[in-house]
Amino acid sequence: MSRIKIGVITASDRASAGIYEDISGVAIQETMRDYLKSEHEIVYRCIPDNQDTIEETMVELCDREGCCLVVTTGGTGPAKRDVTPEATENVCEKMMPGFGELMRQVSLKYVPTAILSRQTAGIRGKSLIINLPGKPKSIRECLDAVFPAVPYCIDLIEGPYLECNEEVIKAFRPKQ
């Protein structure tokens, strides 16, 4: 059985230039370690907010690295350099609107500016790509909301069987 790989992409001009530390990318990696009981390897990239670069990195992590899940942070707002959702849509065959809807709904409990987040999710081959917001606090809130559906989604796209730490997050798999 091949190793489970999870991709983490931080899209940030400043973090990729070393102007500040990528605490968001670190937060996702820690959350994955918290959630997953299955042994897994994190494939991490910190890149500028350049749409071509984001798309190429997504393709690399999905197709060449074989990540069953690729989680991004950054670039989901309305600003000119925010292009992560567009990159996601370009590389995915199927969009999953329910992820963005639920994440915005959850974030709206905390801040009215949650509606400015354009985050989405989609399927490329046997990989699920999920955009998360840029702030560490929102990252965990959003992941807590959507992750229960992630292992079953990866089952459906013929990826590896992910086991979660049940005391941290409960994966839901409907009885067939």
Binding site for a second copy (CB under 8 A): 77-80, 82, 86, 94-102, 104-105, 108, 111-118, 120, 123, 128, 146, 148-149, 152-153, 156-158, 172-174
Q: Rounded to 5 degrees, what are φ and ψ at 148?
A: -55, -25
Choose between 17 and 108: whose C-beta lies nearer to a second copy.
108
User: Shortest approach of a second copy to residue 129 CB, angstroms?
Assistant: 11
Choose between 35 and 99: whose C-beta lies nearer to a second copy.
99
Choose between 44 and 77: whose C-beta lies nearer to a second copy.
77
Residue pair 68/154 in contact by the 8 Å Cβ criterion: yes
Q: Any long-range contacts for 86-90 (C-beta under 8 Å, 24+ apart)?
A: 86/51, 87/11, 87/51, 87/54, 87/55, 87/58, 88/58, 88/120, 88/121, 88/122, 88/129, 88/131, 89/120, 89/122, 90/51, 90/55
User: Shortest approach of a second copy to residue 149 CB, angstroms?
Assistant: 5
Which residue, chain included where needed, has tokens 């941290």?
A: 168
**Cross-strand pairs, 127:** 124
User: Shortest approach of a second copy to residue 73 CB, angstroms?
Assistant: 16
Residues 24, 139: Cα–Cα separation, whole Å? 8
User: Shortest approach of a second copy to residue 148 CB, angstroms?
Assistant: 4
Choose between 3 and 173: whose C-beta lies nearer to a second copy.
173
Choose between 3 and 105: whose C-beta lies nearer to a second copy.
105
**Cross-strand pairs, 45:** 9
User: Shortest approach of a second copy to residue 101 CB, angstroms?
Assistant: 6
